[in-house]
Amino acid sequence: MDVKLLYVSRTGFTKQYADYIADKLKLQAIEYKKGSGLNKNDNIIFCSSVFGGNITELTDIRNEVDQRKIRVLACGIVPPSSEVINQLAKENHIDAEQIYYVPGGLDYSKLNFLKKSILKMVKSSLEKKVVRSADEEETLRRLNVGGSFVDFSYCDALIKDYLNER
């Protein structure tokens, strides 16, 4: 099975995962650019960030490649869970089985004003909640401290699935 590993990374955390997966699978990690000449039948591992429930550039790549041939490594600030994967699948119109969710990081210095403002509102909303779940507490902690939460062990399932299909 011929596979292309593409990524979109604005703050560098998603690129770390793409590079790790590329090394493990002996692939080249290529930064995705819209209209980059993909073939409809290409098999894709697509590593991208999540912001506001949206997987960055997924709509564009779906327009270039058969959606059934895409595996998505979604990188976000919220702690990984099956609920997060199911919500991402629903909001991004893709099967949950195609999504692998990993913890990313937060570097406020690399975000534009709009994204910083949105995260500030999310943080404020979480702070106002009287009762928070463990995941909400962890998200709030991550919003407060920022930094990297990258954990390559979350790539194991994607790597295993890829190797089993070869």
The 10s digit of each residue's pLDDT in 117-145 is 999 999 999 999 999 999 999 999 999 99
Residue 36, pLDDT > 80, answer: no
Global confidence as pTM: 0.90
pLDDT(165) > 80: no
Looking at residue 96, its pLDDT comes to 95
Query: Is 113 a domain residue?
Result: no
Separation CA 143–CA 152 (nearest Å): 21
Poorest-pLDDT segment among 20-29, 32-41, 70-79: 32-41
> 77: which residues sit within 8 A by CB, 6+ positions away?
50, 103, 104, 105, 106, 139, 142, 143, 149
CATH of the domain at 159: 3.40.50.360
Bridge partners of residue 104, in order along the sequence: none
Q: How many CB atoms lie within 10 A of CB 15?
A: 18
Residue 76 lies in a domain: yes
Mean pLDDT of 14-23: 97
Domain count, the chain: 1
